[in-house]
Structure 1
């Protein structure tokens, strides 16, 4: 890695599985192996840019610039602006929770949520990341992943694919994902949270490339086929509205 990549690598320490809120200089030194002079130089640059901040007895944390950028994304992101009205209607009509997700590397990131019920609460809130292999919102994106990216992902996570029910081989996974594409939507029951059903459809950009998904979470894991199909048709319609709005923006 070059020096810029190493410096930005400090931000990855706040994206680890242990959900670290703060990191000390000693922890950074132990985990990254940078010399202390290099480490302090990187920290000064990131702090001056507002990307990191520090407290003497706590360590380094994500800085105020991150908060400012998040506000600008929430208020100005074209995808969120296109999705918010249809998500509000969808959540209200079916008394569920509508989620807008974006693909992030080989994961899925929730970028917006609208709730139409107090009966359930989704822990999959804005800013939370989840595997591409679990949940309707994720699988709706995975189904349209370009072939070379799917091959790479499967090569890195063969056992995870198997455990998630995608079969023994890449060929098995492709066959299942092809079925999802042909249907145009994905549903899962209790895959992420017991007792809940997720229904999701893909969202595409102006080049018809997959960028995310629109999903609806419902407090019922045993919807009969007709009800499921009717709701899925509406979710798919709303996802298409978002895709077309983005294309014409």
Structure 2
């Protein structure tokens, strides 16, 4: 077994933890992953010694404190957060809303920073909770800007959900909907993720052609009108472009050094 395969097998232990399954016994892990007992226990010891997993006598394994430590370091180092936080604060200072920065990795969409100016939560997906891939403004603001070779498999895999929200009955029709988002530079969704809430999102890029993140504003539908919606969409698009410019400059500066 190569070092890469071994690393992938270790990481697969962490991948099974989710909101629906927060604790696993060794027996459950062996059944889920198909690893032998000696192999699994070797991986569990490695992850436990590193702080990625913890366990108590007579209980299963759960995620450990190293995850929290790395989360803290990410907040201090992620350029999307460092360059985008001021825009979140600006939006919540101006509107009764939640403002979010969302990272795209693999096939997952995850909030990495957020601010809120309302007493009640108006986003169903708080920081760290994976979001639906085929619903909401955030999803569309990212999917619409993906290269065709990357986009088409995602459309096929999520076509039922995309149909359900009215983006089209076929892959071609969905692509037409995404082309409109690309032209506008911003995606708007009405109550697709959180009932009664309007989401407005725009993609964030670094130096590449594919989006790496999205900035989004969510606001109760009764607090928004046509003209105000247009204004907010323009502000979100401008913030996304400004963050993208900063990330691009940062990348170029590092290359020159």
C-alpha RMSD over aligned residues: 1.7
In structure 2, the partner of 1:170 is 171
The answer to whether 1:201 aligns with 2:202 is yes
Secondary structure of the 2:124 match is coil
Q: Distance in 2 between matches of 1:29 and 1:219?
A: 46
Question: Post-superposition shift, 1:163?
Answer: 2.5
Q: Distance in 1 between matches of 2:104 and 2:41?
A: 33
In structure 2, the partner of 1:47 is 48
CA contact (8 A) 2:101 2:113 kept: yes
Post-superposition Cα deviations, 1:31-87, rounded to whole Å, max 9, x if no partner, equal 122111111111111112222121113211112211110000012211101000111
Question: Post-superposition shift, 1:140?
Answer: 0.6
Secondary structure of the 1:214 match is strand
Distance 1:122 1:76, change over 3 A: same
In structure 2, the partner of 1:237 is 238
Which runs of 4 or more aligned residues in structure 1 lie more than 3 Å from their structure 2 counterparts after TM superposition?
Answer: none
In structure 2, the partner of 1:191 is 192
In structure 1, the partner of 2:61 is 60
Give the number of aligned pairs: 247
Post-superposition Cα deviations, 1:87-116, rounded to whole Å, max 9, x if no partner, equal 100111112110111112223111110112
In structure 1, the partner of 2:254 is none
Q: Distance in 1 between matches of 2:121 and 2:50?
A: 40
In structure 2, the partner of 1:12 is 15
Secondary structure of the 1:23 match is coil
Bigger Cα displacement from structure 2, 67-76 vs 221-230: 221-230
Q: Distance in 2 between matches of 1:123 and 1:169?
A: 28
Secondary structure of the 2:22 match is coil
Question: Post-superposition shift, 1:222?
Answer: 7.3
Q: Distance in 1 between matches of 2:141 and 2:6?
A: 37
Post-superposition Cα deviations, 1:138-159, rounded to whole Å, max 9, x if no partner, equal 1111111111011121233333
Secondary structure of the 1:129 match is coil
- Unpaired runs of at least 5, structure 1: none
Distance 1:155 1:122, change over 3 A: closer
In structure 1, the partner of 2:157 is 156
The answer to whether 1:3 aligns with 2:26 is no
CA contact (8 A) 1:189 1:198 kept: yes
TM-score (norm 2): 0.90
Question: Post-superposition shift, 1:117?
Answer: 2.2
Post-superposition Cα deviations, 1:186-231, rounded to whole Å, max 9, x if no partner, equal 1111111111111111111123431111111112257332111011
